[in-house]
Amino acid sequence: MRVTKFTHSCLRVEGGGAVLVVDPGAFSERSALTGADAVLITHEHFDHLDVDALADTVAQRPDLRVYAHSDVSAKLTAFADVVTAVEAGTEFTAAGFTVRAYGGQHAVIHPEIPRIVNLGFLITDDTGSVYTPGDSFAVPDEHVDTLFVPLNAPWLKLSEAIDFVRAVQPGRAFALHDSLLTETGAQVSDGHLERLGGTRYARVAPGTTLD
């Protein structure tokens, strides 16, 4: 399993000749979708789902499959025939990887803002596992080799990110959801996660591939 981190919240997972992409949003490079066999969408926010980019990819790759909660799939009617609805607790196969959905709700931004559906995805093959939580801190009940931890968001404070890493106890952790931070701010957050997260942690540049 090889994982490439793209800008903000997008991941590209490759293995066995297949490509699985998670959360190709408006902040992310469209090249993440090149050659994709399947796409996972954690929730409907534009920084996790670029509908136009996904529609263009489906037009080029009609065998592509998209997996998302039914609340999200209702917004993908232009290519509904390639979309499969999943929910928390669902286990399925996407691009040859075993995927299990966790969570159920987006983290609270403000009490006056209605919460939406959000799914975290645990992606596994015979070489390891990767977990990306979307906009939540839902903790999976299985071992995680590589965790992607949200670093900054309107719904997030750093102490929660640190506690999330501690709760998951992954083999290693990398920053995700980091586009809203300046480099200086990101370095401050990095330092706290490195000291307090309890595991190896790093923030990598977009385009970095992890084995």
87: domain range?
Answer: 2-143
Give domain status of residue 149, yes or no: no
Give domain status of residue 132, yes or no: yes
Q: Answer for the pair 64, 35: CB distance below 8 angstroms, yes or no.
A: no
The predicted-structure confidence for 65-122, as pLDDT tens digits, reads as follows 999 999 999 999 999 999 999 999 999 999 999 999 999 999 999 999 999 999 999 9
The pLDDT value recorded for residue 26 is 98
Give domain status of residue 106, yes or no: yes
The pLDDT value recorded for residue 175 is 98
- Does this model's pTM top 0.85? My answer is yes
Average pLDDT value for residue range 117-136: 98
Give domain status of residue 23, yes or no: yes
CATH number for the domain that contains residue 94:
3.60.15.10
The predicted-structure confidence for 14-51, as pLDDT tens digits, reads as follows 999 999 999 999 999 999 999 999 999 999 999 999 99
Give domain status of residue 94, yes or no: yes
Say how far apart CA 140 and CA 66 lie, in whole Å.
22
Give domain status of residue 120, yes or no: yes
The predicted-structure confidence for 177-202, as pLDDT tens digits, reads as follows 999 999 999 999 999 999 999 999 99
The pLDDT value recorded for residue 5 is 99
Give domain status of residue 178, yes or no: no
Give SS3 for 112: coil
R_g (Cα) of the chain, nearest Å: 16
Say how far apart CA 209 and CA 28 lie, in whole Å.
15
The structural domain count of the chain equals 1
Give domain status of residue 175, yes or no: no
Residue 117's H or E segment, with its range, is: strand 117-125
